[in-house]
Structure 1
Amino acid sequence: MKQPCFDCPFNKSVRYALSPEKAHDILEAITHDKAFHCHKTVDYSDSHEGRVTSDSKLCFGAVLFLENTVKGGCRSNVMFRLGLMCKEFKLDDLRQDESVYQSFEEFLEEVVYSP
């Protein structure tokens, strides 16, 4: 995994419509040592929320978002550090990525729908 998928919620060119609660939950998770998995690798067959399986992969868009926004980057999250140790992605793959949101404010401004 070396780039976010083309419809990653952290990709600025994608227009998501998340509830404010869901957007805040995602940011809360990735800044508090929880994993955030790529939506393409989560099983949504039984629920709208989805189920993480043994085949689920970490969201590379979230990895890059943390690199862009948080001191310590993705290594500030224990689950993403584990992803590094398990070679799910490599530090060499990480870079400042302009296609991914550059701040929490920008993410919330763009992905939250206005009812």
Structure 2
Amino acid sequence: MDFKRFFALKKPCPECPFLKDGGYELAPGRLDSIKRDMLDDDFSNFRCHKTTEQITRKQGVEKHCAGAAAFLLANDRMNIPMRLAMAERVLDLEALKDAIPLVDTTLPSKENK
């Protein structure tokens, strides 16, 4: 995997569902479900919706959601792709730290599990 490309996004996009203000509003409980999935499975990742194959019609261009990465970093729960990118020295932690104040870093509720 090209981790440099996969972690090319340095800040959440304006529609990022992880944003505290102004992001895409998901169905009730959906963001908690996404957070829970990421926290329960270190191998999982959440890809930016703007880079998915369904949107771009191209393979191999998907990128990790910067909002999701900032959420994980804020909660000291970097997933395995993030840790591998760190090992390869291609994950910009300072940029992700700058994004933390923009995202909802609260842990998912126990409800709707």
Gap runs ≥5 in structure 2: 1-8
Gap runs ≥5 in structure 1: 46-50, 109-115
Partner of 1:95: 97
Is the contact made by 1:4 and 1:61 (CA closer than 8 Å) also made in structure 2?
A: yes
Partner of 1:54: 60
The one-letter code of the counterpart of 1:101 is: D
Is the contact made by 1:38 and 1:56 (CA closer than 8 Å) also made in structure 2?
A: yes
Is the contact made by 1:9 and 1:16 (CA closer than 8 Å) also made in structure 2?
A: yes
**How many residues of Structure 1 are paired with residues of Structure 2 in the alignment?**
96
Quote the RMSD (CA, aligned, Å).
Answer: 2.9
Q: CA offsets per residue over residues 54-98 of structure 1, 9 Å max, x none?
A: 110001100111122x23x42xx11222344372x3123221522
> Could you tell me how far 1:9 is from its partner in structure 2?
0.6
The one-letter code of the counterpart of 2:45 is: A
> Could you tell me how far 1:15 is from its partner in structure 2?
4.6
Which of residues 65, 81, 84 is equivalent to 1:82?
84
Partner of 2:48: 38
The one-letter code of the counterpart of 2:18 is: F
Q: 1:86 to 1:19 in 2, by over 3 A?
A: farther
1:17 lines up with 2:20 in the alignment = no
Q: 1:28 to 1:79 in 2, by over 3 A?
A: farther
* TM-score, normalised by the number of residues in structure 2: 0.66
Q: 1:18 to 1:56 in 2, by over 3 A?
A: same
The one-letter code of the counterpart of 1:104 is: L
Q: For residues 29 and 52 of structure 1, what CA distance do their matches in structure 2 show?
A: 26
Q: For residues 37 and 89 of structure 2, what CA distance do their matches in structure 1 show?
A: 20
Q: For residues 105 and 24 of structure 1, what CA distance do their matches in structure 2 show?
A: 5
